[in-house]
Amino acid sequence: MKQLDLYQRTPPWIVPKADRAISNVERWAFEHVPGAHWLRRTGLYWLFESRVLGFAFAPKLNAVLEKIVLKHLERSVPDRELREKLTPAYRMGCKRVLISNDYYPALAQHNVDLITDNIERIEEHGIRTRDGQLREVDAIIFGTGFRVVDYVSSMRIIGRRGVDLNETWRTSVRNYLGINVAGFPNLFLLMGPNTGLGHNSMIFMIESQVHYAVDAIRAMHRNALASLDVRPDVEQAFRAEMTRKLSKTVWTSGCSSWYMAPDGDVLLWPGFTFDYWRRTRRVDLRAYEARALAHSSAPNARLTRSESLAI
């Protein structure tokens, strides 16, 4: 490649990637020692889980990690002017943290330019920035980012009284546990609002949501229920809880990120993943408006927790 121009709006925090070769001893242990894989994965889980302490409970703890990351930047980019352009001016974790060992060295190459002037428009032969300069290009790689609120936009989900979920979420991304939405009976979402993470694996959250949905379906079967619809007051209480907890996190420390909905609400889970796991182990039918099957003699009612199932 003769020349590469990178147009940057905001510099990301980039931590070194802990790549290393798996030793022969480790390979032997994984193959012959019972539980070795489990110990390794458990250790990684708790390592990643500990990062939420700095993100959600005590953002000042990030200061230590920020210093380590800035040293990584200093070692990778000798040029002071370029390094200043790559130095974030917001708290680490407010935006998505990147993991790379070759991003900084790539930008330090002689045929790479980092451009921080805002793009004014795309023209026939290139890109013109606000300073009036036109840089000719052969190809443009356009990173459009994420549409975190519109992740169900490819589907038309209609609830009671003809309400469209996409239209509902354009004004308020209300939900319960990131799984249910009031007015949309029997709708169980995976990776819904307020279940995204900035510190650990989403697979753990998805598994918890699947477990919860299956538990709810079994509870409906046992109690001869036609539908479950989360109560509006329960949904409102959950949103108030999320707003209160997220207000103390690094994700609301002042930056603009795709973690946020258009109304400013942060859509991540504001704590430990094991807490979410705990809250989704059993469905609490008291949180729902339950409707009985037509052939059932059971009245429409709010059921007690003791009538829920565990799997």
pLDDT beyond 50 at 229: yes
What percent of the chain has pLDDT above 90?
A: 75
> Nearest CA to 212 among 284, 124, 125?
284
The pLDDT of residue 151 is: 72
The pLDDT of residue 149 is: 67
The pLDDT of residue 265 is: 87
* CATH number of this structure's domain 160-307, picked from the four choices 2.40.30.10, 3.40.50.300, 3.40.50.1100, 3.50.50.60: 3.50.50.60
CA distances from 235 to 31, 208, 252 (A): 47, 19, 22
Residue ranges of the domains in the chain?
4-136, 160-307
pTM: 0.85
What percent of the chain has pLDDT above 70?
A: 93
Residues 278-311 have pLDDT tens digits of: 999 999 999 999 999 876 555 454 444 444 333 2
Residues 132-160 have pLDDT tens digits of: 999 999 999 988 776 766 778 788 999 99
| Local confidence band at 228 (pLDDT 50, 70, 90 cut-offs) | very high
The pLDDT of residue 296 is: 58
The pLDDT of residue 247 is: 92
pLDDT beyond 50 at 95: yes
pLDDT beyond 90 at 261: no
